[in-house]
Amino acid sequence: MNTYIVLLILLALSVLNFTLGKKRVLAAVNGDMAGLHSLPNHYGWFAVIFSLTPSLFILFIWMVSHGHIIDTILIEKIKATYGALSDFEINVHLSDIRNLANNDAVSVAISPELREAADYYDKLRVNSFWAAALLAFGIMLGASAYIAKLITPTLRARNHIEQAVRFVLVASSTIAILTTIGIVLSLLFETMLFLQHVAIDDFLFGLKWSPQTALRADQVGSSGSFGALPLFAGTLFITFIALLVAGPIGLLSAIYMTEFASDRIRTIAKPVLEILAGVPTVVYGFFAALVVAPAIRDFGTYVGLDVASESALAAGLVMGIMIIPFISSLSDDAITAVPQSMRDGSLALGSTKTETMLKVLLPAALPGVVSAFLLATSRAVGETMIVVMAAGMAANLTANPLDAVTTVTVQIVALLTGDQEFDSAKTLSAFALGLALFIITLCLNVVALYVVRKYREEYE
Amino acid sequence: MNIQAADTNITTDREPKMQARRVNVFYGDTHALKDVNLDIYADEVTALIGPSGCGKSTFLRCLNRMNDTVASCRVKGVMTLDNEDIYSKQVDVVQLRARVGMVFQKPNPFPKSIYDNVAYGPRIHGLARKGDELDEIVFTSLQKAGLWDEVKDRLDTSGTALSGGQQQRLCIARAIAVNPEVILMDEPCSALDPIATAKIEELIDELKGHYAIVIVTHSMQQAARVSQKTAFFHLGNLVEYGDTVEIFTNPQEPKTKDYITGRYG
Ligand SMILES: Nc1ncnc2c1ncn2[C@@H]1O[C@H](COP(=O)(O)OP(=O)(O)OP(=O)(O)O)[C@@H](O)[C@H]1O
Ligand SMILES: [Mg+2]
């Protein structure tokens, strides 16, 4: 007997509840549906929801808490048997007891005390399971009996179900929101720790990024320098190059798709363009590193320019290709959303398609287009794989697209790969960078939303 | 191009502004208009009436080739403007639409200022060389559309912020601003209340001296009030066409009679 079987039985009981609830209420009105407040199925679901939920809740509570409670009891027992022990020794004892109970390998010779403790552990486990299972069944049956009384033709089962649905929806969105808040808080917390090592203005405005800290105090260069400006500059530079590529191409292809392409071309070309969005970024990454970067370097050598084998240009170009579908498909949506009557109105005045596009459709679709650009930008700012592979690691502060630059995301990856102390300034700086990046993209998204709201055209 | 009067049963001593001869229109396999012959005269209002789906809008949209924008639509037959075939290869659609303007069923002002709405056409066609010329065009168009007094203090507010009736008059002003010869109106009052409708009808009456006007309407009273000629369509056929007074007092075809007396839906 295990948890799954308990679950199955509970489910079976609630199916029974469903049929019974339905039958009972139909019988109460002699099969005349007009006498019911809700549909028969609503009564069935009412019975299921309000009998299954409490029993499942008990089972859930048991599942998440019984391990911890049993451990606490065992620790008391260990302390009683062996006297004062360190946390480490207690943990060893605990795992020995558990292993013995599960017939796994044990680190010490099996003493009678250990045997006894293992048996005790097993007993606790089994008893708590039965207690939980019986409690769940009891609640199930009790609830069923109570519901059987509740279910009368005048019961507003449909409204109660509505409430239950609403509760589920609220719970889901609460989880989503709480997770976000949790992530932000942990970023904030670690950043605070980092700022105890490094002053905030050194971090935000320092020009030198070399985060290696010494492992031992006697090593040279024991304190790194954490000026993140070159990283932000590199991020913005690559993003800028990417937008130079993706902006015109994305927007123009959106214009072509919506207004100029024939239906046949559109049905083929649009999905193809959207496939670009489905290519994993790591594929773009090695495309950038193995094809584009060498091509740029070779071309540079050919015309006599000094080009690094990893360059901002290569990463920016490929990232631009990556974000084309964001811009084109969101702009496409925005342009398509402009009502046909605007096109008709403009064409009927004797303007060409191009004039209609420039003077009516684009201005009307502008909020959508702007937010497409902003979303693509935040995508580019947060992009990691391509820059890791193609832009390099050197934290140069440069405006030359042929130089190697590095970005915030690349440095976060570099900081956290390999073995790290968790509380060194080096590791903590990753959180600070993450937080800064988060704030940047958040601002972009907020601006995008604001633009869309503020300038939303009322076509009617 | 010269079309023999003998081709049709229409005889008149005046030269029509636009002519349709043996016009057939298909949407894919749907035969929407069948052998339609119709003349449209300058300084007159021609009303197109008929039950829903009979092809009134289709005919109207053929007159300025707005049907070109419908991929499945094919137009056969001859349509002329001042005796020139508007479907011939030499004709520039853009110029044609500047000469034959259109007002739609639902008011569709651009989400721009009132001024820019009216100035849109003149700017596109380069009708004004200087700013004050453009001001002048905007002023006269709004004046002719009977909207000037209501909007003269807020020319830079959005056209979409006007009431429905004002929006429709703005659309008429916008059409007038490019100085068309013909104005097509597809149920211009169907989204408006009776007072706004009365204003538009008054306006049509004033405009008819300057432009040939073709109006589609579902209201018999409206057709009787504003038009001089009426054409009754039924299932893609032009059933009867003639002077409005004749059609409404003495219809030749039983179908026409049924329709205008309300016996036909
Ligand atoms: N874009 C289109 N594609 C396919 N068929 C169309 C299209 N537009 C119109 N039709 C068909 O052509 C016929 C005539 O339509 P039309 O819009 O001209 O009617 P109407 O007389 O204007 O009707 P209403 O009074 O309802 O506006 C109808 O059968 C309609 O279904
Ligand atoms: Mg119509």
Among A136, A155, A174, the domain-final residue is A155
Q: Give the pLDDT score at A196.
A: 85
* A30 pLDDT tier (thresholds 50, 70, 90): confident
Strand partners, B242: B230
Is A371 a domain residue? yes
* Cα B126 to Cα B138: distance, rounded to the nearest angstrom: 14
Mean pLDDT on B72-95: 91
Q: CA of B217, closest CA in chain A: separation in Å?
A: 19
* Cα A345 to Cα A347: distance, rounded to the nearest angstrom: 6
* B114 pLDDT tier (thresholds 50, 70, 90): very high
**Same domain membership, residue A137 and residue A258:** no
Is A184 a domain residue? no
The C-alpha torsion from A323 through A326 and A329 to A333, rounded to 10°, is -150
B214 pLDDT more than 90: yes
Ligand 1, atom 4: closest residue by C-alpha: B27
A180 pLDDT more than 50: yes
Q: Does A359 touch chain B (CB under 8 A)?
A: yes
Report chain B residues whose CB lies below 8 A from the CB of A458.
111, 158, 160
Q: Which residue of A259, A262, A335, A349 to mutate against B (max B Cβ within 10 Å)? A: A349
Q: Give the pLDDT score at B13.
A: 64
Number of domains making up chain A:
2
Report chain A residues whose CB lies below 8 A from the CB of B101.
348-349
- What is the average pLDDT score of chain A? 86
Report ipTM for this prediction: 0.88
Strand partners, B40: B18
Is A47 a domain residue? yes
Tokens, residue B119: 């100035």
A172 pLDDT more than 60: yes
- Give the nearest chain B residue to A455 (CA atoms): B111
Q: How far is CA A439 from CA A101, A229, A444, B200, in A?
A: 50, 15, 9, 55
Mean pLDDT on B145-170: 90
* Cα A66 to Cα A71: distance, rounded to the nearest angstrom: 8
* Cα B114 to Cα B112: distance, rounded to the nearest angstrom: 7
**Same domain membership, residue A86 and residue A232:** no
Among A155, A190, A210, the domain-final residue is A155
Mean pLDDT on A362-381: 88
Report chain B residues whose CB lies below 8 A from the CB of A347.
66, 69, 97
Question: Per mean pLDDT, which of A54-68, A170-184, A425-439, B240-254 is the most reliable?
Answer: A170-184
Backbone angles phi, psi at A325, to 5 degrees: -60, -30
Is A51 a domain residue? yes
Among A155, A183, A205, the domain-final residue is A155
**pLDDT 10s digits, A88-144:** 888 888 888 888 888 887 777 778 888 888 888 889 888 999 999 999 999 999 999
* Cα A247 to Cα A373: distance, rounded to the nearest angstrom: 7
- Give the nearest chain B residue to A339 (CA atoms): B108
Alpha-carbon Rg for chain B, nearest whole angstrom, is 18
Mean pLDDT on A232-244: 90
> What is the percent of chain B where pLDDT is above 70?
94
B5 pLDDT more than 60: no
Ligand 1, atom 9: closest residue by C-alpha: B58
CB atoms within 10 A of CB A60: 12
Is A211 a domain residue? no
Task: State the DSSP H helix or E strand holding residue B152, giving kind and residue range, or none if neither.
Answer: none
Is A198 a domain residue? no
B226 pLDDT more than 50: yes
- The mean-pLDDT minimum among A288-297, A448-457, B3-12, B103-112 falls in B3-12
CATH architecture assignment, domain B2-260: 3-Layer(aba) Sandwich (3.40)
Domain that holds residue A22: 3-155
Ligand 1, atom 22: closest residue by C-alpha: B57
**Same domain membership, residue A268 and residue A409:** yes
Residue ranges lining ligand 1, Cβ < 6 Å:
B 27, 30, 32, 50, 52-58, 70, 72
* A456 pLDDT tier (thresholds 50, 70, 90): low
Q: Give the predicted TM-score (pTM) of the model.
A: 0.76
Let me know: does B70 contact B93? Beta carbons within 8 Å.
no
Residue A440, classed as helix, strand or coil, is helix
Tokens, residue A51: 């009998």
A330 pLDDT more than 50: yes
Q: Give the pLDDT score at A198.
A: 81
DSSP B158: B
Q: Give the pLDDT score at B185.
A: 93
DSSP A29: T
